Amino acid sequence: MTNRAIRFIPQALLITFVTGSHAFGQALPRAQPEALGMSSSRLAHIDSVMQGLVDSSRVAGVAVLVLRDGKVVKSGVYGWSDREARRPMQPDALFRIASQTKAITSVAVMMLVEEGKLQLGDPVDRFVPSFAQMKVATDTGDVPRRRAISIGDLLTHSAGLSYGTDARVRARYEAAGLGPAAGRGWYFADKAEPICTTIDRLGTLPLVAQPGERFVYGYSTDVLGCVIERVSGIPLDVFFRERIFKKLNMEDSYFYVPMAQASRLAAVYSASATGLQRAPNNAIGQGAYVDGPRVSFAGGAGLVSSIQDYARFLQMLLNGGELNGTRLLAPHTVALMTADHLGPVYTVPGSSFGLGFEVLESPALAGQYGASGAYGWGGAYATSYWVDPAERLVALIMTQTLPSGGLDAADRFRTIVYSSILESAPLKH
């Protein structure tokens, strides 16, 4: 069977597809694109572009999903879930979503804020005592912090916490079982210890910037996962399952894939100068998301999910914190999360950063399609998403490619989605 032989699964089958006894989640409602101001013929360009990426071995397989006004206007799967096993990509495939976990952890934190159990200004060392003595690494040695790290600093990645890649701290992070030599800094699935044990040890290591001084991408959201456990009194996987996943009917989201669903986990591939290769069965390849110790629940990059599950989560945010009568957050909280919290501290042109999301401020300066106020992020395995409130739009693209070799699938997908919008009038109630 060739790549071209499988092509892509028609949209109608994406709702009814069943694998074994497992249905493709609870189906999202559908609508003809034209009924919601979009063009079917323009959206169809996604099919040729994504299949072209498969045929040219830029990706092994990919899935896309676009919603407007809460209804699916485009969906498709292309290529292979497992190329060597000749298993085509399926609508219910499971993906390692890596840093897309951060959005879910950020929502969980804000749920606790709404309940009065946390405040954005709370010092982190109130919940992780080892953080009270953290210093800041400089070229001439460690220096004291000017102030404590706050919950808000963690949500905005302005705490000064890195992934241990900075030369000033790398050796110490690696000696503590963190940092690049331990796999990739963000990877926790093979750790045989609870997340708070790891985070307690992280608190003995130095920061790479003063709190609030600059945007530093690193372990901040993993620390928040530990804070959630200590404030709520339950493990992070239980909090997610009981307070978020069940309420949103996210039936396919896990830190570790159940053995009965292991065949649905798409394989990881690596792009290199010699082409696309299957990644090895180790921490920086396939990962231990099936056969790992199942005790480390990493709020920064630990989840596996399906494209439909994550779409339900994003639609809840677009709806102002509610989905199908179930409310997780208040509209004001979602608005706060998607506002600019860093100003000039976030130096990406045309963009700002909120409480867990990058926010598009100026499409022209960013050189990016979208309306001002659109927000999103992505994951290390080349997954990506965004929510555009002005266009009432949710869009996701998922593949499993690490490293991705400069893959531009998400950018091309975004361009086609916006070029398919023909009517941008506000939704009438």
Q: What is the 3-state secondary structure (H, E, C) of the chain?
A: CCHHHHCECCCCHHHHCEECCEECCCCCCECCHHHHCECHHHHCHHHHHHHHHHHCCCCCEEEEEEEECCEEEEEEEEEEEECCCCEECCCCCEEECHHHHHHHHHHHHHHHHHCCCCCCCCEHHHCCHHHHHCEEEECCEEEECCCCCEHHHHHCCCCCCCCCCCCCCHHHHHHCCCCHHHCCCCCCCCCCCCHHHHHHHHCCCCECCCCCCCCCCCCHHHHHHHHHHHHHCCCHHHHHHHHHHCCCCCCCCECCCCHHHHHHECCCEEEECCEEEECCCCCCCCCCCCCCCCCCCCCCCCCEECHHHHHHHHHHHHCCCEECCEECCCHHHHHHHCCCCCHHHCCCCCEEECCCCEEECCHHHHCCCCCCCCEEEEECCCEEEEEECCCCEEEEEECCECCCCCCCHHHHHHHHHHHCECCCCCCCC
Burial of 412: CB neighbours in 10 Å, binned 0-12, 13-18, 19+: middle
| Entry pTM | 0.93
Distances (CA, A) of 196 to 110, 188, 190, 339, 416: 19, 12, 15, 29, 42
Q: Which pLDDT belongs to residue 426?
A: 54
Q: Give mean pLDDT, residues 162-166.
A: 94
pLDDT band at residue 179, thresholds of 50, 70 and 90? Answer: confident
Q: Is the pLDDT of residue 96 over 70?
A: yes
- Residues 99-136: pLDDT tens digits? 999 999 999 999 999 999 999 999 999 999 999 999 99
- Residues 343-394: pLDDT tens digits? 999 999 999 999 999 999 999 999 999 999 999 999 999 999 999 999 999 9
